[in-house]
Amino acid sequence: MKFVILLFALSLAALATAQHASSSHLVCYYDGNSYVREGLSKLHTNDLEPALQFCSHLVYGYASISQTSNKLVSPNDKLDLDIGAGLYRTVTGFKKKYPHLKVLLSVGGDRDEVDPDNNKYLTLLESANARIPFINSAHSLVKTYGFDGLDLAWQFPKNKPKKVHSGIGKFWKGFKKIFSGDFVVDEKAEEHKEEFTALVRELKNALRPDGYLLGLSVLPNVNSSLFYDVPAIVNNLDYVNLHAYDFQTPERNPEVADFPAPIYELNERNPESNINFQVQYWLNNHCPATKINVGIAAYGRAWKLTKDSGLTGLPPVVETDGVAPAGTQTQKPGLLSWPEVCGKLPNPANQHLKGADGPLRKVGDPTKRFGNYAYRSADDSGENGIWVGYDDPDTAANKAAFVKSRGLGGVALVDLSFDDFRGACTGDKYPILRAIKFKL
């Protein structure tokens, strides 16, 4: 009898830990734009299914703001809203088959292009009257299409990139750049911070009666201390997704390649450009750890190497020449999805190829602190040089382990369309997503 009771107690304990293990969040972003891509990078909603068993939340993006009416609107009515075939209903319809899934509509994201001199996300904040149509239309879109809530990927102005490093010969050039006067990100940052707090409060009040969620996506290179009054907003937020990646990109740092999304500090000049700093900032400002989800990008950032970039590939790599040519699938210069990176690593198909099709040299991260890179030095004519910093399934798992060890809420994967959803690399579909899930 005692044995049976013991056994029973043990299995209860096992059940409790199993439930605890699955309590981590895995927020999956799905950018509707990937549905209208051509060729292999087009992510059809059917291709989402193998991912959804792993996701706790699906964030569909991105809705936009109408500059004339201040309403939350779809930038592509036909794609999002069409009766029968619109993506809004398709994504919320997944809840029938995956009842655990929370589906949110996201507004903003870096995809919604804004005029930096007349940023509609800031002008909307500035007027309490403008916020009303926004809140009403957001509530009504969420309700009409069956979403579980709204995600705010609000477009605040970004930090100016700091120079990462200067090689010996470049010291003075770098020196001049760093100290060429103070750069003010936003003259009215203090007001915008207060107004954003008001917006979050007003939105939550509108959404609460229906039990809708309100989440925040902190976009890359947005300075949290400038725009978020953390203690004043956290109680009205169900989660905070820190998009802690793209710290170094070929657009921001065309002359120096370095790890785009390290867990820990790379160098003293950029103490804030890492996951650990961003997480600690929110924790220090009284955000509950369980509300924080760490963003992981499923793409790499790729620079073009020149003859002066050296042969070692060791970051920071100087004298780079901006964005590397676009991948064949995603067609975005300087950005390579995980299957595109994978296809460039040494494999049987490319081992005898040369030039632009030849394999890159892969350098892993035994420290588990910074991520991977792969590169090919420029050839004698200065062509075909490339350096790409990226997270593969292993380094994404390192980040998930970091999340676990800090007791954080979970991970936010940005986005599903950049993971290997076709299983082209090893045969496994969504290998980055799986690696994260396995660690959480």
Ligand X SMILES: *[C@@H]1O[C@H](CO)[C@@H](O)[C@H](O)[C@H]1NC(C)=O
| Residues of the shown chain interacting with ligand X in the complex, contacts defined by CB under 6 A | 159, 223, 225-226, 272
DSSP character string of 56-81: SEEEEEEEEE-TTT--EE-S-HHHHH
Of 158 and 332, nearer to ligand X (C-beta) is 158
112: closest CA among 151, 154, 142? 154
Of 162 and 170, nearer to ligand X (C-beta) is 162
Please state whether beta strands 410-414 and 213-218 pair in parallel, antiparallel, or not at all (unpaired): unpaired
Cis preceding linkage at 62, omega within 30: yes
Smallest gap from residue 298 Cβ to ligand X (A): 24
Q: How far is CA 277 from the centre of its chain?
A: 16
Edge-first strand order for the sheet with 386-390 is 335-337, 299-304, 386-390, 372-376, 361-363
| Helix locations, 82-170, DSSP H | 87-97, 120-126, 128-145
Of 272 and 428, nearer to ligand X (C-beta) is 272
Of 119 and 290, nearer to ligand X (C-beta) is 119
Smallest gap from residue 273 Cβ to ligand X (A): 7
Of 43 and 240, nearer to ligand X (C-beta) is 240
Of 287 and 397, nearer to ligand X (C-beta) is 287
How far is the first Cα of the chain from the last one, in angstroms, to the nearest whole number?
36
Name the amino acid, one letter, at 75.
P
Smallest gap from residue 277 Cβ to ligand X (A): 9
Smallest gap from residue 220 Cβ to ligand X (A): 11
Going by C-beta distance under 8 Å and a sequence separation of 6 or more, which residues neighbour residue 438? 397, 400
Of 225 and 426, nearer to ligand X (C-beta) is 225
Smallest gap from residue 272 Cβ to ligand X (A): 4
Smallest gap from residue 181 Cβ to ligand X (A): 14
Smallest gap from residue 383 Cβ to ligand X (A): 35
Reduced 3-state DSSP string for 196-256:
HHHHHHHHHHHHHHHCCEEEEEECCCCCHHHHCCHHHHHHHCCEEEECCCCCCCCCCCCCE
**Closest residue to ligand X in the complex (CB):** 223
